Structure 1
Amino acid sequence: MEQTLLQARALIESTVSLHRRRPDPGPAAAHTDVAVLGEAVADLVLGARHSVCLAITGKDAFGRIARESLAMLDSGPVVRLLCAPEVADGSLCQLTRTPGARFEVRVSEAELRDIVVVDGAAALVRATAGNAKGQATQVNDPAAVRALELLFAGAWSRGRKLDDHLALSHRLRSELTRRILERLRDGYTDDAAARDLNVSLRTYRRHVAEIMRELGANSRFQAGVRAVELGLLSE
């Protein structure tokens, strides 16, 4: 998977470089401002025939427009919605229960970018840095779209299902839990992990016991497996 993502990034970079060398980039590299962003997202989503891959990072205009567009889909394409933890809520469950629709929602802890990829043929990428935050780039170049689709697939494979995310307690979603799980995964002794986290050995072991109980695990190995299944840890 890591090699695939590296190849995908290289493909995107080469495609961008190719577009920069062209005297006229044409509509494939056209920027979409906030005023027409809604129309662009809706046109892509509602025009999909086979698949929609969508990543949402916040509850701003892009996220609202994307969700409204998805709600208008009655049936047809397979929809994969990947969202940041702060976006995940019970309202997304309604999308998955739309009659005739084929929705799946996952939550990712990784850094995401707002993106729509439709039918593996067209994409819209939201800019996130500097003054371009309110802009998006529409991409029609087949190689670039395929690369974006591969990057989305990589993030999707590491995400956890929405139902699993909503079922997790606040304790399991905390930064401390993530750091403890990482040290369990990496084979730290309890003494070394406690020193690394700057807590007492007793406190560390108490946290480990609580995490195992929350995960319903009988051993640390089982806790690690469960953490990977829930997307709390990478493999």
Structure 2
Amino acid sequence: MIESTVSMHRRRSDGPAPVSRTDAGAVGDTMEQLIAGARRSVSLALVADGKFAAEARRILAARPQRVPGSPAPVLRVLCVGAATRDAVELLTNPYLPQTEVRVTETDLREVMVVDGRGALVRSAAGHADGAAVAVHDTAVVRALDLLFAGAWSRARPLARHLDFRPRLDHDQARRVLEMLSDGRTDESAAQQLGVSLRTYRRHVAEIMRELGANSRFQAGFRAVELGLMPRSA
């Protein structure tokens, strides 16, 4: 969706290029320029190791430059997988006092959006590692900001994520989730697991509560999102 939004506006735009490709060697410079001018917020989606993520970590781990006399902008970091470990370090950075980190297991394109005025989006697979698209068109940046906000609202705060996984990522919870995924009746699932019907239903209720799900179908969907269950082929 991000790639199609950027491509659509690249084709429509007239005048100075509001969307331009940035090669891997210049990604760090572009990030520094965006962050240096940040006044309100920096929204960053990090997926995994690679040039884009490495440059973002390097710049944010150092003392970020910003407009003299302006307060530090809010940094929101949305992480997937291994990127979560790097984001934890940003929380202790004294130069980034207003840092929030959330975790998601959904597929994301790495992106940085600053103040709703500029953005940098990692290029699609097939381009050189770390290459990105710099965006300055207001409409495109606003669309990227809204996409990030939607993913952010569905993500799990880091503290809850770190506390959550150990409670559900164990054999009993996975077996209950498998029963739900297979569509088994409560009676059949309880018998298969060797527990009473009351105990099985209690496990289901606890899992739904932990996942923030309102239905068993939603619980299964959330479990897949969080990597607790494999995606269907």
**Fold match, TM over 0.5?**
yes
Q: CA deviation at 1:39?
A: 0.8
Task: Supply the AA of the counterpart residue of 1:20.
Answer: R
1:228 equivalent in alignment to 2:219 = no
How many pairs align? 208
Distance 1:202 1:141, change over 3 A: same
* Counterpart in the other structure of 1:26: 16
* Counterpart in the other structure of 1:17: 8
Question: Structure 2: which 5+ residue stretches go unaligned?
Answer: 66-70, 214-221, 226-233
Task: Supply the AA of the counterpart residue of 1:61.
Answer: K
1:139 equivalent in alignment to 2:130 = no
Distance in 2 (alpha carbons) for counterparts of 1:176 and 1:138: 47
- Contact 2:76 2:100 (C-alpha < 8 Å) held by counterparts: yes
Per-residue deviation, residues 189-221 of structure 1 (Å, max 9, x unmatched): 246779xxxxx8227x69xx7xx9xxxx95532
Identity across matched positions, percent: 38
- Contact 1:81 1:105 (C-alpha < 8 Å) held by counterparts: yes
Distance in 1 (alpha carbons) for counterparts of 2:19 and 2:27: 15
Instruction: Kindly report which structure 2 residues correspond to 1:43-192, keeping only aligned pairs within 5 A, or say none.
Output: 43-71=33-61, 72-73=63-64, 76-89=72-85, 91-99=86-94, 101-169=97-165, 172-173=168-169, 180-181=176-177, 184=180, 189-190=185-186
Distance in 1 (alpha carbons) for counterparts of 2:172 and 2:15: 47
Distance in 1 (alpha carbons) for counterparts of 2:177 and 2:84: 22
Distance in 2 (alpha carbons) for counterparts of 1:35 and 1:189: 56
SS at match of 2:84: coil
Distance in 1 (alpha carbons) for counterparts of 2:21 and 2:33: 15
Distance in 2 (alpha carbons) for counterparts of 1:182 and 1:42: 46
- Contact 2:173 2:207 (C-alpha < 8 Å) held by counterparts: no
Q: CA deviation at 1:51?
A: 0.4
TM-score w.r.t. structure 2 length?
A: 0.71
* Counterpart in the other structure of 2:216: none
Distance in 1 (alpha carbons) for counterparts of 2:146 and 2:182: 28
Distance in 1 (alpha carbons) for counterparts of 2:186 and 2:102: 33
- Contact 1:30 1:138 (C-alpha < 8 Å) held by counterparts: yes
